[in-house]
């Protein structure tokens, strides 16, 4: 079976990642498929690198007029404030199955156009484990951003805007320099997962050894006063069912907690375990400062943290995804993609 894979440009601010590298594109072409790549100045990989391995280059957003049978591959959300019916098979993080803002509108677009969404978050194997995830890098970059924020706070500086780094070593060196002679008391919840592993890896590299909790410590349900006793709380837990919150304003009374980093960042979702904020931050203003229990607390919640290390996170994710993408391109009944499609159908059928 021959497929046409169309890598679309990303429209989200500061999104430089890609789910497909030239190495992967070349393998798809060698498999007999067509690969089209939309031009994108912000993408961490140059357009010419794709062209050099045989990809067709086209203008940004031209996927909208691609033949109906084309598979549209992306990463983050489609352009905002659009309502055109969606006719293609789309692969991207749709954020549409947990009651998030805009979910109903997106599903209506697919339903009216007859297209389908293969949500990257729901590409799972027979053990219900995701086959491709940015989790490690979300935890790694979230922890790094939290440490930068704590350094700003402890040094009496305004919080710095976020910016990406060419390589993690550059960021680690900066953090080590900023934290000389001081170290916050840090707690990580969800420490045994991919995301938690990334956070712990970063913290270890800069000489911080946090309190680490996972399911065993949280299964009885929160809120947990222990969390509030730390200077920095990093939430990396994957939540799939409604649970009591990890923290609320009441347990913050007379407690030290000053930086809350919610790597999971699902403020508009029904499963948010940190109900202290209702919107994500931005790269320009990543922290939200709130008066909670008589003290100003600062919440860091940005929904594309891995793009702070766009090259490393893209290469890792694309390598995880590629074998399954190659299989799907050759056989659309691939079981992993069928599971993702089933999630889409179960939710779109309710619209």
Which listed residue (12, 89, 95, 298) is catalytic? Answer: 95
DSSP percent split of the chain into helix, strand, coil, nearest 5: 35, 15, 50
pLDDT digits (tens, 9 = 90+) for 112-158: 999 999 999 999 999 999 999 999 999 999 999 999 999 999 999 99
Nearest CA to 244 out of 264, 271, 284, 282 is that of: 271
pLDDT digits (tens, 9 = 90+) for 151-164: 999 999 999 999 99
Q: Which position has the token pair 């009496």?
A: 156
Which listed residue (12, 76, 88, 298) is catalytic? Answer: 76
With bands split at pLDDT 50, 70 and 90, how would you rate the model's confidence at 271? confident
Q: Indicate the pairing of strand 34-38 with strand 56-58.
A: parallel
Q: Which pLDDT value is given to residue 49?
A: 99
> How many Å apart are CA 303 and CA 174, to the nearest integer?
23
Question: Domains of the chain (ranges plus CATH)?
Answer: 4-122+310-348 (3.40.50.720), 135-308 (3.40.50.720)
User: In the annotation, is 76 catalytic?
Assistant: yes
User: In the annotation, is 285 catalytic?
Assistant: no
């Amino acid at each position: 079976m021959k497929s046409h894979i169309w890598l679309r440009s990303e429209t989200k601010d500061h999104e430089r990642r890609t789910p497909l590298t030239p190495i992967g594109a070349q393998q798809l072409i060698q498999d007999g498929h067509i690969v089209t790549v939309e031009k994108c100045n912000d993408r961490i990989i140059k357009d010419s690198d794709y062209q050099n391995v045989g990809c067709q280059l086209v203008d940004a957003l031209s996927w909208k007029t691609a033949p109906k049978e084309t598979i549209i591959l992306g990463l983050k959300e489609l352009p905002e404030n659009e309502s055109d019916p969606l006719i293609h098979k789309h692969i991207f993080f749709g954020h549409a199955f947990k009651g998030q803002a805009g979910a109903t509108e997106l599903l209506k677009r697919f339903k009216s156009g007859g297209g389908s969404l293969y949500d990257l978050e729901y590409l799972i194997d027979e053990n219900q484990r995701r086959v491709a995830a940015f989790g490690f890098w979300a935890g790694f970059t979230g922890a790094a951003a939290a440490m930068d924020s704590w350094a700003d706070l402890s040094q009496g500086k305004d919080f710095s805007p976020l910016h990406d780094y060419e390589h993690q070593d550059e960021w680690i060196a900066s953090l080590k320099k900023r934290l000389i002679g001081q170290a916050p008391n840090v707690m990580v919840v969800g420490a045994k997962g991919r995301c938690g592993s990334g956070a712990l890896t970063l913290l270890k590299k800069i000489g911080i050894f946090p309190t680490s909790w996972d399911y065993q410590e949280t299964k009885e349900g929160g809120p947990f006063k222990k969390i509030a006793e730390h200077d920095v709380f990093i939430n990396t837990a994957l939540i799939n069912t409604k649970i009591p919150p990890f923290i609320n304003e009441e347990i913050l009374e007379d407690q030290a907690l000053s930086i809350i980093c919610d790597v999971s960042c699902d403020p508009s979702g029904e499963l948010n375990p940190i109900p202290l904020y209702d919107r994500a931050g931005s790269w320009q203003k990543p922290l939200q400062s709130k008066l909670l229990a008589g003290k100003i607390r600062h919440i860091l919640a940005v929904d594309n943290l891995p793009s702070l290390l766009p090259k490393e996170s893209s290469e890792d994710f694309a390598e995880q995804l590629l074998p399954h993408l190659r299989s799907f391109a050759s056989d659309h009944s691939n079981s992993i993609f069928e599971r993702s499609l089933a999630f889409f159908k179960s939710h779109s059928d309710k619209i």
